Every structure is written in C-alpha cells, then in structure tokens.
Amino acid sequence: MVATTRSRVQNSSDPGVNERIREKILDNIARYENASRRELTYRLAELDQEWDIERVLELNFSSVVLAGIALGTLSNRKWYVLPAVAACFMVEHVIEGWCPPLAILRRLGFRTSSEINRERIALKTLRGDFADVSVPGNQGSSTSSVLEAAEA
C-alpha cells in the first residue's frame, strides 16, 4: 500500500517521537507568544533554514551511494552492494514512508516539512499576518489553539 505523502513519515514514526515533536512545536510557539514582531520574523527566518527530514534522507542516500561507488571502484567490488541496498531503502521510503535511518533521524528531532510549516503558520498568526484567525491576547486564544488553527 502506498502511503499518502502528507502523513507517511508520521505514520511510520513512533507515536512517542511524534508527540515529542508536537510538544516541541507547542513549546516554540509558547516561547514566542509575547515576542515582538522582529523576534517572530527572526524565528520565521530560522524555520526557512531548517532542513526537513526528506532533505536529510536525500543527503544520507546520496552520501551512501557515492561512498559505495568510490569504495567499489578503489577498494573492492563488493562495496557496490552498498548503493544497491541504499536504493532499496529509498524505494521503501518513497512507497511506505519508512526506511532504517528514519527512526534515528526522527529521534534526533528532524521534522517533516508539514511540521515545520505548522509552526511557521502558527508564528505568522501570532505576528498578525492572518486577520481572520484569533491571536492570543486578543480573543483569549491559547498556544494550542494557535497550533490547531495552523493544522486546519
């Protein structure tokens, strides 16, 4: 079964890890709840620089393939199996959303682009970029309601 693009990494990740990442997003939003517009803009720029898990997996895959080709060429042809195994893992990730490095990277805190975007939208809401979404302090919203608005 082919997993949907939007939720395939979360569905393949440990629920506890997903919850820790969600709590981190809530903590980040709470930290900036009373921040100035400048501080929010700075944090949004930081989020623009954050690597999502797909980018890290692509780098990991490319590094393993290049290392396997180099070792196979310079050392022993048996190293050519390394890029083949990496390619199989990448295919599995594309289809199912899971591959062996995923669990490690998620535990290290790498987020999906949708998780990063949820924080981005919540911070833009706090900054006042969306007039039709309630902002904490204006209508009694909480940090979790700002995140819920971003998830909607």
Q: Structure tokens of 16?
A: 């506890």
What ranges do the domains of the chain cover? 9-50+111-152, 58-110
The whole-number pLDDT of residue 27 equals: 96
Average pLDDT over residues 38-65: 97
What is the CB-side half-sphere exposure of residue 9 using CA atoms within 13 A? 24
Predicted confidence (pLDDT) per residue in 120-148, tens digit: 999 999 999 987 655 555 554 577 777 77
Q: Is the dihedral of CA 88, 4, 22, 131 positive or negative?
A: positive
What does pTM read for this prediction?
0.83
Asked if 44 contacts 126 with a C-beta cutoff of 8 angstroms, the reply is no
The candidate with the shortest Cα–Cα distance to 16, out of 103, 78, 131, is 103
- In the chain, which residue ranges form alpha helices assigned H by DSSP? 8-12, 15-31, 37-49, 53-74, 81-96, 100-107, 113-127, 143-151
Average pLDDT over residues 95-112: 94
Average pLDDT over residues 62-69: 97
- Of 117 and 150, the structure prediction assigns the larger pLDDT to 117
